[in-house]
Chain A
Amino acid sequence: MSATEKPTAGQGWVGQAIRRKEDPPLVKGQGTYVDNMRLPGTLHAAIVRSPEAHAAITGIDVSAATEHPSVTAVFTGEDLAEDFAGPIPMVWDPPGVEIKTPEHWPLARGEVKHVGQAVAVVLGNDRYAVADAAEQVIVDYEPKPAVVNPEKALEDGSPLVWDQFGTNKTHEWGIAGGDAEQAIADADVVVERRIVNHRTAGAPIEPRSSIADPRGDGVTLYSSTQIPHIARFILSGMLGMSEDKIRVVAPDVGGGFGAKLQVYGEEALMVALARKLGRPVKWTETRSEHMATSHHGRDQIAYVTIAATRDGKVTAARGRFVNDLGAYFQILTPFIAELGFPVAGGCYAIPNIKLDFVGVFTNKFATDAVRGAGRPEQTHLIEVMMDQLAAELDIDPVEIRRRNFVPTESFPYETPLGIVYDSGNYHGTLDKLLEHVDMDAFRREQAEQRERGVHRGIGLSTYVEVCGLAPSRAVGPQGVGLQAAFWESAMVRVHPSGSATVYTGASPHGQGHDTGFAQIAADRLGIDPQQVDVLHGDTDQGPFGWGTYGSRSLSVGGEAVGRAAVKVQEKAKRVCAALLEAAPEDIELADGKFQVRGSPDKSMTMAEIAGAAHIPPQELPTDIEPGLEETSFYDPENFVFPFGAHACVLDVDVETGKVEIVRWVAVDDCGPAINPMLIEGQVHGGVAHGIGQALYEQIVYDDEGQLTTGTFVDYALPTAAELPEFETDRQETPSPVNQLGVKGVGEAGTIAASPAVVNALVDALRPLGVTYMDMPLTPMRVWQAIQAAQGANGGPPATEQGREVDSEHGRGASGSGPASPTEGGGA
């Protein structure tokens, strides 16, 4: 079946904006999150964490904590050395490239390399008591110089994070196609910028939480994770346990955003402690622990060069990237920046591309995947650079995009880096955007507003992203070298009465798989989505699966569901054919019934067929086994490449520097919709996330490596009040890669959004002389940029971190209480 054919459909559930099946229990407070779970005899864990960014541990005195009446046990890293068979693994082993990889244990051994590093664990019967007792663990530290700035870390004579490596450089990795150097040398115009993509947090509303429950010689780990099966695989190695003795369950998970695409030391620690003590052990991170020790994202300095002809045709793009990886690696840390390479060059036909990545150790927590993971960085810089080039050449930003788009007739399009964009129609989404946004009218309005002192700007982002992770041959050991594969599994079981259960290896944490996957299965089974239960997140249920991240679940996991359901449908047709005395090829599924082609009066429902498959009313042909259950393991042939066009309209209060987004229009193309409402939700959330990075959110460490954004007071996650209404529209260009024709949409909004904001700001402020700004576009930094452009005495130019901290009161961003941006009562 080609992608453009209608699916073998029953009742056309695919494409309908049906409400999310998973919501009623969640909105009624009946969800099951790990921290809500109460197991008899549970010990609570509190973790003693390093206040130092870099230090030798010269002594740990646990005596006072051990004597606390509620404390059962206290362990240090040395105490548990025998309980771990291996450290936290990092799974990228690129052919021909050595990555300096430090050992990373759940509890520090002898030294600490970042603030928040786990040093000891205190266990007891009461969560509050262990928090008290943890404060009584006395750790002696001998501080060492901290390395915070990744570029300084690469300079000769910099203090070292790891003495044994003799350098702070972790690795270099590069890829090139064509001859970018020559094209740059030959170009009419060359534009160069240094673009900082700052560090951010995942910040899901539900923090991490784990309970390890020992049962016989095995352990069940309930954990708030995006990857239960991978977690089991990795934990078995770390703990030296047979995989079958570990069960990992991800119950309801309250968001992840990549921060739970991880196997953390605390998860392994809970399992080790549960085995050691024979009791359930539970740990839930506090929000401050999350900010310090759940992996961060981005943190890249890019030196970008774009070469073009005088009429605006881009001939080359070159990037040198310095990536701040922190002190230790989590599972994918050094790979994340490189993961953006398939969309270097964006949606433009750029013949020469060269990318060189350098990883750097610093005394910070690890960076790893946060929504977009490498693609936001590449998209941000190419989209910002297109506007920079447009300004340089005095060409309209719309026009310069059109001149460079990969032509619609060129798909599948192979980039100079050997990546094949599956399908696209970039002019189409831009055309549709411009139906919503009348650019001529906007420019007139903008001019009028400027006369009245209102500085309004518009910014475009015409993005393409790569998702559907992933064709295993491209990213696995045979490809770029991840020691993993990225197919997905689905098992579809039709019960004797005709309802069905779908087991997926994907592991949702808010996306809506229960609904979307049910729609896919329902159409192929001829039943109602309400009769399809979608199970996930339990390694004891259904086959191995690779989890949910990288906008992969629908195009890989959903495709697997579709394929398994088609297998069931084919078997159902054979059963039906036998009972109706017809040929299997004459049975069609239409209007929710399996009927003999041309004789609609001769038909059976799925319930009737399922009953017969389980309890045959007559003898069935011997080649039909009983039961109605099929499994699919689907490994995609290629990535998928969703795309779209977004426009951001914003106002800048040039006296204060404050930015207000007044309009957002998003036209996205992620292939045919399974459920348009789920897409819309993902676009809203994704854009909010991108706006968050562009205007508000930033993880900041000071020069000594202290984390200064340890709570939501200082880490300014935007709220609904900060966000505009989102105007959304779609185009549907099917992917030839999978039978559903679908692409992904979970990260698209985030990837699209940040350059649109920056481009809009520059558009607003260009008359004042502001030609470029790094994110985050905080009021002070914007004001400073205006001052600097105007040459006024307005204080120092914006620093990278946008700060000049006066610690007089040691207070946070804008209030005294570091826990919550609230105010009011306690006298």
Chain B
Amino acid sequence: MIAAGFEYAAPDSLDEAIRLLGEGGEDAKLLAGGHSLIPLMKVRLAAPTLLVDLRRVPGLRGVSSEDSELRIGAMTAHAELADAKAGLLATAAGQIADQQVRNRGTIGGSLAHADPASDLPAVVLAAEGRVALKGAGGEREVAAADLFEDYLTTAVRADEVITEVRVPKLPGYGFGYEKFARRSEDWAMVGVCALVKATDGTCEDVRVGLTHMGSTPLRAGAVEEALRGRPLDAGRIGEAAEQAAEGTSPPGDLNATPDYKRHLARVLCRRALAEAAGVS
């Protein structure tokens, strides 16, 4: 509970942050809300030599609505996102941990930390969002599908900063979010988010994201495949949801064996799809 020593900088421009990050090398870390990194530092599972705090960097906060997408500044706190008109994203953000954490934790930090047990990564993945990155080599965009590489590992380079998260608005889609945890403040034991677009009772499109069912957030491709283009009723949803754990190898822990997590994924998937499709 006592972190190792580290240097600290709070630059007031993005370019300066990127410069410090580059100079700091591999052991430099960005600090956003700090609600994942600092606990890890306090038990000495992380020991960065330099923290570059983004709190003074302008232009990284807020939710804005462009033509077809929402643009969410990377330093936007979960609480702000939860209060925004952001559909599934807002619903998921409102279920992260507790109010104190939601006041501090940020979407950019959550995606960059890439904890597969966190709420937002699977949601952004299912919504087919992208992140905007800026580094010493310039700016680029990475699709969520390419962002999450492994447990706590992303395609973000060591000298890059996530500046914005861009998520399509998906008009006409219903959504459902099912998070299962022992306590309300816990990480998801398993989480399932579903986005469903229906036309005349037929599933035009469906996206299902899985939280904590592997070393990265996942899409439940088999479920999507089983529903897309089919009539949406409770029976079909139930059958499709049976495939929610297909191809996953969820990590077990003290409170959940892999088998139990696969079972939860199927149950939660059915519930999330039913909610998204408005089918009871």
Contacts and interface: CB of A to CB of B under 8 A. Distances in A.
Nearest to A698: B254
B260 A813 contact: no
A288 B98 CA distance: 22
Using C-beta atoms within 8 Å of the partner chain, give the interface range for chain B. 35 or more
B31 A825 contact: yes
Nearest to B264: A656
A817 B2 CA distance: 14
A411 interface: no
Given A802-B255, A817-B36, A824-B35, A779 B96 contact: no
Interface string A809-821: 1011111111111
B176 interface: no
A822 B183 contact: no
**Interface class of chain A by DSSP:** loop
Interface of A: 46, 127-128, 131-132, 135, 286-288, 655-656, 658, 696, 700, 708-709, 711, 713-714, 716, 718-719, 721-722, 778-780, 783-784, 794-796, 802-806, 808-809, 811-827
B251 A806 contact: yes
Given A656-B180, A815-B117, A826-B36, 10 more contacts: A286-B1, A288-B1, A783-B260, A811-B251, A813-B182, A815-B187, A816-B117, A820-B39, A825-B32, A827-B37
Interface in B92-107: 96-98, 100-102, 104-106
A806 B106 contact: no
Contacts of B31: 825-827
Closest 10 CB pairs of A and B: A824-B105, A826-B37, A825-B109, A825-B33, A815-B187, A824-B35, A806-B252, A819-B39, A825-B32, A827-B112
A823 B255 contact: no
Contacts, number: 217
Interface string B58-83: 00000000000000000000100000
B243 interface: no
B39 A128 contact: no
Contacts of A822: 35-36, 39, 97-98, 100-101, 105, 185
A795 B118 CA distance: 26
A716 B181 CA distance: 11
B254 A825 contact: no
Given A708-B254, A714-B254, A806-B258, A824 B182 contact: no
Nearest to A721: B184
Main secondary structure of the interface of B (DSSP, over half): loop
Contacts of B5: 128, 132
B184 A722 contact: yes
A813 B181 CA distance: 10
Interface stretch (B8-16, B40-48, B165-173, B197-205): B40-48
Given A128-B2, A132-B5, A656-B264, A814 B43 contact: no
Contact of B36 (A783, A809, A824): A824
B117 to A, nearest CB: 5
Given A811-B253, A826-B29, A818 B43 contact: yes
B260 to A, nearest CB: 5
B222 interface: no
Contacts of A818: 39-40, 43, 45
Contacts of B106: 824-825
A814 B4 contact: no
Interface string B177-219: 0001111111111000000000000000000000010010000
A508 to B, nearest CB: 27
Contacts of A805: 252-254
Given A128-B2, A814-B255, A815-B186, A780 B39 contact: no
A823 B101 contact: yes
17 contacts: A128-B2, A656-B180, A656-B268, A719-B183, A721-B184, A780-B260, A803-B255, A805-B253, A806-B252, A809-B215, A812-B253, A817-B36, A819-B43, A821-B97, A824-B110, A827-B30, A827-B54
B263 interface: yes
Nearest to B97: A822
A713 B101 CA distance: 14
B2 A804 contact: no
Contacts of B155: none
Contacts of A716: 182-183, 186
A709 B268 CA distance: 27
A823 B105 CA distance: 7
